[in-house]
Amino acid sequence: MSQYNEMNPAPHHYGHHFESAEHEFTTAKQGMWIFMVTEVLMIGAIFVGYLLMRGRYPEAFHAAHQVLNVKLGALNTIVLIVSSATMVLGVSAAQRGNNKRAINMLMATIACGAIFCVVKYFEYSHKFHEGIFPGGMYHYEGLTIPHVPLFFSFYFVMTGIHAFHVVVGMALIFWTITRIKRGQISKQFFTPVELVGFYWHFVDLVWIYLFPLLYLLG
């Protein structure tokens, strides 16, 4: 039955409270979807706060958004879209039992995540250098309209929480790579790779909303 059994011939032992490996897999997927819903609500609350304040102080938010570097933001958008593609390829390779290819694709995904973080680091440090900090710590002299600091509070909190999720995602992908290397992932059992894939796509999707909301919306 299995074509790629050189690394992992042993069948997966599912939990004693499930009827079959398939039952365990669909249950795990459902759990992950629900977890994604909680993430959406968590990030959703702060989106609501941002849009509310944006509606209240449109001039300040318009002026503030022009300070952001659209080119770097766009670069990061492309990097994350590419990472989502490599993630899909990695998951599909793992499903087919092609472990070598799966590892390569997952490594590529981690690399994209790392590029994203490096670009973000340069953006942040440039802002800090100019005195652009959140809220009460803001002291950039180039832009002194009231409520501009509030925009940057949202900018740093939203992108910061997103970046935290990127780092967690990278750690999770690394964990799946170690599991593949230990021979624990096979055609019969690839749940961890698939679920970490869900998570990574979610993190990308959040950025797809963050980029236009913060960088582009005039």
Partner 1 sequence: MAHTEHAHGDNYLNHEKGIWSWMTTVDHKRIGLMYLAAVLFFFLIGGIFALIIRLNLMKAGAPVVDANTYNKLMTYHGAIMVFLVIIPAIPASIGNFVLPMMLGAKDVAFPKLNLASYYIYLLGALFACLALFLGGADTGWTFYTPYSIRTSGAVIMVIFGAFIAGFSSILTGLNFIVSIQKLRAPGLTWNRLPLMLWALYATSVIQVLATPVLAITLVLLIFERTFQIGIFDPALGGDPVLFQHFFWFYSHPAVYIMILPAMGVISEIIPVFSRKPIFGYRAIALASFGIALVAFIVWGHHLFVSGQSELANFIFSLLTMFVAVPTGVKVFSWVGTMYKGSIRFNAPMLYAMGFLELFTIGGVTGVFLATLAIDVHLTDTYFVIAHFHYVMVGGTIMGFVGGMHYWFPKATGRMYNERIAMWAFILIIIGFNLTFFPQFIAGSEGMPRRYWSQLPEFDLMNRLSTYGSWFLAAGFIVVAYNMIKSAKSGPISGPNPWRALTLEWQSPSPPPHDNFGPTAPTVTQWPYEYKGANV
Residue with token string 């501009």: 148
Among 2, 26, 144, 178, binds partner 1 (CB under 8 A): 26
Given the complex with partner 1, which of 1 and 52 has the nearer CB atom?
Answer: 52
Contacts to partner 1 from residues 163-202, by CB under 8 A: none
Contact 14, 24 (CB under 8 A): yes
By the 8 A CB rule, do 132 and 67 touch? Answer: yes
Tokens for 73, please give them.
Answer: 């933001």
**Residue 9 binds partner 1, judged by CB under 8 A:** no
Hey, what amino acid is at 37?
Answer: V
Residues 36, 102: Cα–Cα separation, whole Å: 23
> What is the CA 109 to chain-centroid distance, rounded?
11
Q: Which one among 4, 7, 27, 111 touches partner 1, defined by CB under 8 A?
A: 27
Q: Is 13 in the site for partner 1 (CB under 8 A)?
A: no
Which one of residues 153, 159, 176, 186 is an interface residue with partner 1 (CB under 8 A)? Answer: 153
Residue 211 near partner 1 by CB under 8 A: no
Q: Any contact of residue 49 with partner 1 (CB under 8 A)?
A: yes
- Please classify residue 97 by burial: count the beta carbons closer than 10 Å to its beta carbon, then call 0-12 exposed, 13-18 middle and 19+ buried: buried
Smallest gap from Cβ 43 to partner 1, in A, equals 7
Interface with partner 1, residue 156, by CB under 8 A: yes
Q: How many residues bind partner 1 (CB under 8 A)?
A: 38
Q: Provide the minimum distance between the beta carbon of 73 and partner 1 in the complex, in angstroms, as a whole number.
A: 21
Supply the DSSP string of 141-156, one letter for each residue: TT---TTHHHHHHHHH
The two most distant CA atoms of the chain are separated, in Å, by: 68
Find where tokens 């710590």 sit.
137
Which residue, 11 or 135, has its beta carbon nearer to partner 1? Answer: 135
Tell me the residue type at 39: E
* Between 27 and 188, CB nearer to partner 1: 27
Interacting residues toward partner 1 by CB under 8 A: 15-17, 23, 26-28, 30-31, 34-35, 37-39, 41-46, 49, 52-53, 57, 133-137, 146-147, 149-150, 153-154, 156-157, 161
